Amino acid sequence: MPLLQVIVLALVQGLTEFLPISSTAHLFLTSKLLGWNAESLSFDIILHVGTLIAVLLYFFRDWVQIIGQAFGVQIGHDSELKHNRGLLWLLVLGSIPVGIAGLLLGKYAEGAWRNEFVIGTMMIAIGILMWFAESVGRRVRDMGALNFVDAMTIGLFQALAVVPGTSRSGVTISAGLFRNMTRESAARFSFLLSTPAIAAAALKAVHDLHKEHHLHELFTLPYLVGIGVSAITGCAVIAWFLHYLRRSGLRPFVYYRIIFGIIVLALAFIRRPA
C-alpha cells in the first residue's frame, strides 16, 4: 500500500473511530471515491493496531486502576472508578455480545453489508437513535453507579457495531444515555468497553498476517507510519471529544450523520444500474 494512501486512511481512521460518525463509513467512502482498495490485510493491521494503541495510551491509568481494584489492590485515585470495584468484570460481561455478533455476522459485515445502501441507512437510523437518547436521558449517573444491567445493555448495543455505518461509540454512548449516565461517563465507558473488541480484532489481523508469512511487513515504514498516525490522531480525538461532552451534546453529530447518510443514499441510487 503506497505511503500516501496509508497516511490518508490512517488519518480518517484516527479522526472518525472515536467520534459517533462511523469510521467504517468514512473509510469505505474515502477509498471508493479515490479508487483505493481499503480491504487488504495490511490495512486491517494499521486500522486495529493504531486504534488499540490510542485507546490503551489514553486510558492506561484507568485500566491499571480497574484491574488493580478487581483483585483487591487500590491503584489510582479516580473517584468514579474507586466507587465501582467490580468494573473489570462488568467490562468482561459487556464484551460478550459483540464477540458473539462478530463470530456469527462477521462475514456479512465484511461482505454483503458493506455497501452504500446499508451504510447510508445506518448513518440515518443511528443518528435518530442518538437524537432520541439525547432527548430522554436524564444524565445523572456516572461510572461509579454502573451495574450489571447497564453493562449488558451497552454491550448489546455495541453488538450492532458489526453493521457498517453504525458507529461503535454512537450506539454505546446512546445506550449509556438511555441508562441515564452523563455524556462523559457514557463515552468513557464506551471507549473502555471497546478496548477488548479492538484488541481481539488486532490480534486476529496479526495472526492472519503471520499465517500468510508476512509478519515482517509489520515493521516496514508504511506500517509503522500508518499505525503511528492512527494512534496519535485517535488519542487527540478522544481527549477532545471527552472535553466536548462535558459541556455539549450529540446534536451536531446527529445532524452530520443524517445529512451524510442522505447524501450516501442519493449517490447510491443515482449510480444504481438501470
| Cα distance between residue 20 and residue 28, in whole Å | 16
CA 194 to chain centre: 6
Which residue is it, cell 489481523? 205
Bridge partners, 141 (sequence order)? 181
Nearest to 218 by CA among 203, 198, 232, 233: 203
Contact criterion met (CB below 8 Å) for 131 and 251: yes
C-alpha cell at 109: 459485515
Q: At 216, is the pLDDT very low, low, confident or very high (cuts 50, 70, 90)?
A: confident
pLDDT digits (tens, 9 = 90+) for 53-96: 999 999 999 999 999 999 999 888 898 999 999 999 999 999 99
Mean pLDDT across the stretch 181-207?
92
Please, where are the H alpha helices in 35-147? 41-58, 60-70, 79-82, 87-109, 116-136
Nearest to 20 by CA among 225, 174, 215: 174
DSSP 8-class letter at 47: H
Q: pTM of the prediction?
A: 0.94
pLDDT digits (tens, 9 = 90+) for 126-164: 999 999 999 999 999 999 999 999 999 999 999 999 999
C-alpha cell at 242: 471527552
